[in-house]
Structure 1
Amino acid sequence: MERTLSSDLAFENNSAAQASMPLRALSTLMLWQRRLSSRRQLARLDSRLLADAGISESQRYEELGKPFWR
């Protein structure tokens, strides 16, 4: 007797993958929002605070030049 995957099992797996899509999209949007927020805060730091954090001006400009999705 040959064993095969039932079509119900394949359908259940596909449904689970589709259900997680909104969660992944929400997670990605939240990550982008955190990046935007942290880069805004980084832009507001003066040179003394940058030095305290161990960040150079060139590192700051490099980070601020990145798009939110990176």
Structure 2
Amino acid sequence: MKDLQNVSTISIQPLVRVHPLRRLLRGLWQGLERARTRRLLAQLDQRDLADMGLSHADRLNELEKPFWR
């Protein structure tokens, strides 16, 4: 019982407000990154997909998503 962590006091992180322009730019950057990784996913062959544990249907499902999701 000496190794148990004391969780009786819960610390709450203060809410940090992010500037709206910074939030917009971060969202745009993340969307572009998702689009880039999906383009790379589209280039993989069956063997590469199998190595990653993905099926052809998994790939098609991911490629159908818009960049903002």
Bin the TM-score by the shorter chain.
Answer: 0.7 to 0.9
Instruction: Among all aligned residue pairs of Structure 1 and Structure 2, give the percentage whose two residues are the same amino acid.
Output: 45
Shift >2 Å, 4+ stretches: none
Q: TM-score, structure 2 length as denominator?
A: 0.73
TM-score by length of 1: 0.72
**C-alpha RMSD over aligned residues:** 1.3
Structure 1 gaps, min length 5: 1-16
Offset at residue 59 of structure 1 (A): 0.4
Matched positions, count:
53
For structure 2, the residue ranges without an aligned partner over 5 or more in a row are 1-16
Instruction: Identify the structure with bigger relative contact order (alpha carbons < 8 Å, sequence gap 6+).
Output: 2
Quick check: which has more Rg, 1 or 2? 1
Greater fraction helix? 1
